């Protein structure tokens, strides 16, 4: 049986993606794209129209096959309940996949019993099993579009100032850091307001954010080794 491992460094982004899922929409799932030939895996999901992408390198001897599928919303809710019930470690995640007739058919969350660099069957055990679905069409389109988007880098100082600016506006409907107009445009309770953009925020392009997207930006920054972030254009669609 093959395993998917979400490493510690990716866990905050993974949980942020789960928390952004909206059960009232058909895309309340996380699509998984396994590229065994290039030893990488992509996770795509999040709030409708505000998807995120997590790339995870596959370790040598991973045993995974090329595949596309989605993990349903209920699986993640069950996972979180089991974590609370058993007070398990939540700094990395292990999932077992069952393969049949040329595709992965179901998934099990494995409770992590202790923190260990070596992951084997002695430190975790499987819990509830859920059926897998096809990768969501919206996620497939997002993944294809992502290959055509350019990367733009935000430096540490700009990121911190953007995070501080959005934090000061919470709660808000959306905020837009407008490069050419040198202004911040935001909506609170249906009312749109603008204010001057700080000179020290160096933007490669106009940056629209919702509260969920601003939290994603914060999580990316906190888990960045360099303090800078490479974003694809655009980060999200404007509301």
pLDDT tens, residue by residue, 80-106: 888 777 666 567 788 999 999 999 999
User: DSSP of 72-84, one letter per residue?
Assistant: EHHHHHHHHHHHH
Whether the model clears a pTM of 0.85, i.e. scores above it, the answer is no
DSSP class of residue 195?
E
pLDDT at 45: 95
pLDDT at 148: 77
Kindly tell me if the per-residue pLDDT of 8 is higher than 60: yes
Kindly tell me if the per-residue pLDDT of 186 is higher than 90: yes
If you classify domain 2-146 with CATH, what class do you get?
alpha beta
pLDDT at 114: 55
pLDDT at 235: 43
The domain segmentation of the chain, as residue ranges, is 2-146, 151-232
Residue 207, strand partner residues: 177
pLDDT at 236: 42
Kindly tell me if the per-residue pLDDT of 123 is higher than 50: no
Kindly tell me if the per-residue pLDDT of 209 is higher than 70: yes
Q: Which two tokens stand for residue 80?
A: 């979180």
∠ at Cα 219 (113, 117), nearest 5°? 30
The better pLDDT of the pair 187, 211 is held by 187
Cα separation, 43 vs 151, whole angstroms: 18
User: What beta strand segments (E) does the chain contain?
Assistant: 2-6, 29-35, 40-45, 52-57, 67-72, 93-100, 103-112, 124-131, 151-154, 174-178, 183-188, 191-196, 207-209, 229-232
Mean pLDDT of 143-149: 83
**Range scoring the smallest mean pLDDT among 112-116, 140-144, 171-175:** 112-116
């Amino acid at each position: 049986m093959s395993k998917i491992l979400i490493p510690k460094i990716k866990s905050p982004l993974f949980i942020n993606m789960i928390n952004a899922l909206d059960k009232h929409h058909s895309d309340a799932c996380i699509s998984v794209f396994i590229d065994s030939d290039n030893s990488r895996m992509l996770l795509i999901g999040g709030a409708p129209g505000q998807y995120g992408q997590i790339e995870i390198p596959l370790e040598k001897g991973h045993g995974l096959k090329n595949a596309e599928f989605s993990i349903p919303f209920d699986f993640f809710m069950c996972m979180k309940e089991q974590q609370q019930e058993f007070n398990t470690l939540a700094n990395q995640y292990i999932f077992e996949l069952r393969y049949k007739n040329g595709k992965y058919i179901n998934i099990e969350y494995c409770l992590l019993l202790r923190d260990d660099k070596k992951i084997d069957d002695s430190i975790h055990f499987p819990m509830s099993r859920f059926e897998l679905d096809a990768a969501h069409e919206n996620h497939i389109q997002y993944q294809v579009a992502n290959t055509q988007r350019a990367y733009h880098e935000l430096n540490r100082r700009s990121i911190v100032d953007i995070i501080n600016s959005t934090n000061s506006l919470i709660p808000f409907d959306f905020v837009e850091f407008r490069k050419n107009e040198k202004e911040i445009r935001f909506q609170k309770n249906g009312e749109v307001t603008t204010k001057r953009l700080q000179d020290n925020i160096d933007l490669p392009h106009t940056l629209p954010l919702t509260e969920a997207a601003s939290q994603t930006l914060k999580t990316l920054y906190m888990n960045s080794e360099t303090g800078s972030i490479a974003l694809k254009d655009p980060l999200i669609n404007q509301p």
